[in-house]
Amino acid sequence: MNKSAATSADVADLAGVSQSAVSRAFSPGASISAKTREKVLKAADALGYRPNALARAMISGRSRLVAVLVAYLDNQFYPLALEQLSRALQARGYQTLIFMTETGNQDVVVQKMLQYQVEGIIMLSAELSSSLASECAATGTPVLLFNRYVPGLPASSVTSDNLEGGRQVAHHLADSGHTRIAFIAGQENSSTSRDREAGFCKGLAERGMTPVARAVGGYTFDGAARAARELFAKPDRPDSVFVANDHMAFAVMDVLRNELRLRIPQDVSVVGYDDVPEASWGGYDLTSVSQNLGEMIQATIDILMSQIDRQHVKRKAAIIPARLVARGSARMPGGST
Amino acid sequence: MNKSAATSADVADLAGVSQSAVSRAFSPGASISAKTREKVLKAADALGYRPNALARAMISGRSRLVAVLVAYLDNQFYPLALEQLSRALQARGYQTLIFMTETGNQDVVVQKMLQYQVEGIIMLSAELSSSLASECAATGTPVLLFNRYVPGLPASSVTSDNLEGGRQVAHHLADSGHTRIAFIAGQENSSTSRDREAGFCKGLAERGMTPVARAVGGYTFDGAARAARELFAKPDRPDSVFVANDHMAFAVMDVLRNELRLRIPQDVSVVGYDDVPEASWGGYDLTSVSQNLGEMIQATIDILMSQIDRQHVKRKAAIIPARLVARGSARMPGGST
DNA sequence: CTGAAAGCGCTTACAG
DNA sequence: CTGAAAGCGCTTACAG
């Protein structure tokens, strides 16, 4: 669509060399003399030549494109992941093709990805059906689930240690004298919610306790608000709650403070998960579990690149350590607050 | 990189037609009989054929790719814009190639975009130098500045009516009995900050007032916190402040409430701009100016598509109405709060 | 090191 | 409506 962008043939003409020579001048490591390269570069500069990445992709069979499939970006964890993912990919010479999905059109979207010959697919806050996973596998395109895990699928995954994170939350709350501890789940079918809950229950069991109540927030702001009302608008309310992610925890805190007039943490302690930037803002000061985004990104890139380079063909699952960050929204062990 | 993906020639062989016929079967509107199309589709299905979008882009000269250049995603306004932009583009048959920039490497990044033959470029939270703008113009690639405006450049732009938005804030504060009104700027060289301030000063002037103080936050959380300390940690402090965007306003509120122990809005009124989701959260309940993201996206797509289709070659600047959303962080006109 | 040639997988005039 | 052929702009064996 360029008005008439210069091609390698144009450059070759001006430089008085073959078209192959021009190509070599732009391929690091190609066998070309310094003299020839210089001539080419000068001519290219004069013409404003830019190699056509699409043509290169076609002939070399390597698009240098990675697709990121995103369902939503309103939970701040995902934009930050996308930003860092994209930067890391760029640094490795790959470009990021972003696809937004909504329940229903996933199939169409994955077809588009494959049509663009992407070399890998990263699923961010998005589901992956098993049929799509095997379709990608059939084309040899590696798929990686970020912050999600699905046992049976031919897809790699990177998650934080949700089991251990949930366990730490349980200990934090139990050791601070809470006796009526509740849980608010995210999406019931997501591995993060299930694992965080499982670890949480395990941790409580280690203190001889069990959750006194449970509700489902579905990882949405409104869903979490409803769950909070369900759990706290009755006489024998919990004295603390672990919410499966920060995004929901903010909604829960809003309901507790502004609708139910409960004080945090004096009346109710709240703990979230993700440690998104807002968690440390003064308006919430939310105790949370930090996912170590940097390491998750690093693991993602490492796994994907090795799969693209065919060093690992098998799927791989990385689990990154998580750690609790204690703030003011939950009473502390040993403390009087 | 596919193990050996079926090509149109493979499908042609199986279907017993020419390769051109296969191509036609996948081009809406191409002249092909229903019978032939059916044969082709059946064969394609059997082979798991998927047209190669890169090859199509090469030969047709239309990549169906739009680049979005992003500087940062920590101000929630931008991820939401990116999400909606990407969905709108997808709906129009375009894919989004995302590029992260940081001051310095912008040149490299734009070169990459052009190499991928993108049909248009959208700048999100990113600067555009005039040399890059004219380079894009030279290739005939339309550039659109989202939420930014640079007079001299050969680039379209979509912004909210920042002048009018700032003016409304001035009236809101002046009419609520505030007498010492301050302003915290974003980046001094950004049109959004300048226009919001200009409108703000105009609105105050219409009430016979001028700002009593001014500081610069640079659109960052920490910068805004510093600006707040600068403005409010002295005896004769302002009784209200307009902060050039919500992201900074949250930091300002944190400093006012948690460091300086001032009550909002009783001691100080705070107003932001953007009306990001967090503004309506209970922890801040921030009075803000809503940018009408939906209309901004719509205008962006309309302008870009018409430029891509060569209906408009000239740059175009859309200004979308903005409106103040009054919440609890600022005392209201006529009210006792 | 260098050039001529083949070919990546398509679309699209051009004839029929 | 249909097919043979040209060509998009590159990379990469293959000879020299």
Q: Identify the residue among B83, B111, B221, B280 best suited for mutation to test binding to A, counting A beta carbons within 10 A and taking the highest.
A: B83
**Helices marked H in chain B:** 8-15, 19-25, 34-47, 53-60, 77-91, 106-115, 130-139, 162-174, 191-205, 221-232, 246-254, 293-308
CB A132 within 8 A of CB A154: no
Answer yes or no: is A117 within a domain. yes
- Locate B6 and state its tokens: 């079926």
Residue B177: C-alpha distances to residues B131, B240, B269, B293, B337 (Å): 48, 10, 11, 31, 11
* Summary mean pLDDT of chain A: 94
β-pair type (B240-243, B269-271): parallel
Contacts of A117 in chain B (CB under 8 A): 1-2, 52-54
Residues B178, B167, single domain; the answer is yes
Answer yes or no: is A333 within a domain. no
What is the pLDDT confidence band of residue A301, given thresholds at 50, 70 and 90?
Answer: very high
- Phi first, then psi: what are they for B310, rounded to 5°? 65, 20
Residue range(s) defining the domain that contains residue B69: 65-160+293-321
Give the integer Cα–Cα distance in Å for B32 and B42: 15
Could you state, in chain order, the average pLDDT of each consecutive group of 10 residues for chain B (337 residues)? 76 94 92 92 94 96 96 94 97 96 85 96 88 88 94 93 98 97 96 97 98 97 97 93 98 97 97 97 97 97 93 86 97 74
Which CATH number goes with the domain that contains A304?
3.40.50.2300
CB B101 within 8 A of CB B78: no
Total domains in the fold of chain B: 3
Residues A173, A281, single domain; the answer is yes
Q: Residue A128 pLDDT > 90, yes or no?
A: no
Task: Give the per-residue pLDDT at B2.
Answer: 40
Residues A139, A113, single domain; the answer is yes
Which pTM value belongs to this model? 0.94
Residues B207, B307, single domain; the answer is no
Answer yes or no: is B10 within a domain. yes
β-pair type (A323-325, A288-290): antiparallel
CB B167 within 8 A of CB B321: no
Residues A113, A151, single domain; the answer is yes
Residues A168, A282, single domain; the answer is yes
What is the pLDDT confidence band of residue A1, given thresholds at 50, 70 and 90?
Answer: very low
Answer yes or no: is A58 within a domain. no
Residues B79, B127, single domain; the answer is yes
Which CATH number goes with the domain that contains B42?
1.10.260.40
Categorise residue A141: left if φ over 0, alpha if ψ from -120 to 50, beta otherwise: beta
Residues B137, B205, single domain; the answer is no
Task: Give the per-residue pLDDT at A205.
Answer: 98
CB B228 within 8 A of CB B252: yes
A128 or A37, greater pLDDT: A37
- CB A1 to CB B83 under 8 A? no
Q: Does the C-beta of A251 come within 7 A of strand C?
A: no
Nearest to B54 among A58, A99, A100 (CB): A58
Give the integer Cα–Cα distance in Å for A119 and A229: 46
Answer yes or no: is B336 within a domain. no
Residues A117, A32, single domain; the answer is no
Answer yes or no: is A223 within a domain. yes
Contacts of B74 in chain A (CB under 8 A): 79-80, 277
Residues A166, A287, single domain; the answer is yes
Task: Give the per-residue pLDDT at B49.
Answer: 95
Task: Give the per-residue pLDDT at B267.
Answer: 97
Residues B282, B167, single domain; the answer is yes
Residue B279 DSSP symbol: G
Answer yes or no: is A133 within a domain. yes
Q: Does the C-beta of A148 come within 7 A of strand C?
A: no
Per-residue pLDDT averaged across A228-251, rounded? 96
Per-residue pLDDT averaged across A76-91, rounded? 96
Task: Give the per-residue pLDDT at B1.
Answer: 38
Task: Give the per-residue pLDDT at A2.
Answer: 40
What is the pLDDT confidence band of residue A312, given thresholds at 50, 70 and 90?
Answer: low
Task: Please list, in sequence order, all residues whose beta carbon lies within 8 angstroms of the beta carbon of residue B52, skipping any fewer than 6 positions away.
Answer: A58, A115, A117, B5, B7
Contacts of A278 in chain B (CB under 8 A): 278
Percent of all residues in chain A with a pLDDT value above 90, rounded to a whole number: 85
Task: Give the per-residue pLDDT at A337.
Answer: 47
Nearest to A277 among B74, B83, B115 (CB): B74
Contacts of A284 in chain B (CB under 8 A): 283
Per-residue pLDDT averaged across A91-112, rounded? 91
Per-residue pLDDT averaged across A177-183, rounded? 97
Answer yes or no: is B57 within a domain. no
- Locate B44 and state its tokens: 């394609």
- CB A53 to CB B117 under 8 A? yes
Q: Identify the residue among A52, A60, A66, A83 best suited for mutation to test binding to B, counting B beta carbons within 10 A and taking the highest.
A: A83
Residues B183, B267, single domain; the answer is yes
Residue B34's CB is within 10 A of a number of other CB atoms, namely 7
B55 burial type by CB count under 10 A (0-12 exposed, 13-18 middle, 19+ buried): middle
Q: Does the C-beta of B240 come within 7 A of strand C?
A: no
Nearest to A54 among B58, B141, B221 (CB): B58
